[in-house]
Structure 1
Amino acid sequence: MNTVPIYNRLSLIAVFCLCFACSAYAQKLDVVKGVVFKKNTPTTISFVTITNLNHKMPDVQTDELGSFHIEVALGDTLLFKKSDYSPQYIVVQTYVSQSVYMQPVIQLNQVTIKDVSKKQEINDALNDYKKKGQFYSLNPSVGSVLTSPISGLYDLFGKAPAQARKFRQYTQQELERIEINKRYNKPLVKQITKMPDEDLDSFMLSFTPNIEDIRVWSDYDIIDYIKRSYAYFVKNKESLKVEKLY
């Protein structure tokens, strides 16, 4: 049986609480200043949220220059957070100024990389056509019809293969247009001719070179072609408009 009087136990508890309070008070708070940098650079980071995980006090933020000051006790852990950066934890071991470095987060839109070429996208679409239509070739030959009559005839006359061939024809034209536009485009024509904006679309529509020329022309050839074409355009602008109308 416990013979310690109740008042003695209360006294022990009171002493314990007093010691704990004194110990907590001994951990005095002081102000620590510092600057937050982007890791491996001299660039400072503004508006980083800083939380003292050991004391309940309002969060602080770095200013426009990345500087901060916060009340801490030695041994406190500070959490630095900002979107697009990995969280950074710092244990305060001294009251001198702190330099904190945060690592930028490299975010991908999806697990699969989206930087796929236009040509690859088109090839993927054609492969989907082939899978869904269950046909072997977009250009069936007479030999394929003879060696495999069912699949060969389907490739020739089936609806899905016909749609795929139309799609491929369209995408081939689209790829050629992109290739032409890399070397013959509105900014280039505008720079060389200084033509007014209202004439630019009409000129581009009438004098866009074909893909065979673009593939063999040098830059000088393209510039010379634009100059000669614009000279003709200026002299025959009205007649060209009539031709387009009809």
Structure 2
Amino acid sequence: MNHLKLFLLLIILTQGLKIKAQDFVLKGVVIEKGSNVRIALAGITNIRSKMGATSNDIGIFQLNARIGDTLLIQKRNLTDRKVVIKTDDDLVVYLVRASTMLEEVTVKGQNKKQEMEGIKRDFKRNGSFFEGKPPLVLLSPFGGSPLTFFYELFGKTPARARNFNRYYKKELSLIEVDKFFNKSLVSKNTTLTGKDLDNFLLDYYPTRSTTINWSNYDAVKYIKESAKKYTDTLRNTNNTQ
């Protein structure tokens, strides 16, 4: 009798596993977080089966899936998201607008810029009006100020102002680049972590001239393409060792 019960239990468990592994039609909707606007034409990909679908005009999609599958949801100007299917219930996916991820970096950059502007004002209050680079017109005998000219060239405060101005220009350039290429944004759009993430940030940090006309979409595109190159290089290096 005990053997019969055990046999029946095994049958039930086996059937349960079969049911669990069966495909079903998953229904879902893609919504922008915060605005609750339904997102049309979002791309939904089942990573296991490589099958895809697109959300319709009201954000709804259907896709064959299994319990345990991972879906990748993508939409231009919104942050990609991966979702693991845990039940066969209808799925609601919230995507975050990419620009919101840049807000914190932008605020930090603006705060730093304000601090540096304050330092420049302090130099002016201390007598360096030309940041150590006096115009030649100061040498003119008609309304010029030769003393100011030579003070700006050789004075200690103007020298510090001149050095700071070089630092200021460099930092402004970095602040603009950091809006589009920073640890937070890279972490959200790649699988890189730890030392690999730090090395990637150093190796693929773009120049200001590269980012000058970027939008959020361009930044995410650059990060993903560069991360693929980086991981491919790591993989090839490991294979040759």
| Length-normalised TM-score, structure 2 | 0.45
Instruction: Report the structure number with the largest CA radius of gyration.
Output: 1
Greater relative CO, 1 or 2 (CA 8 Å, sep 6+): 2
| Length-normalised TM-score, structure 1 | 0.44
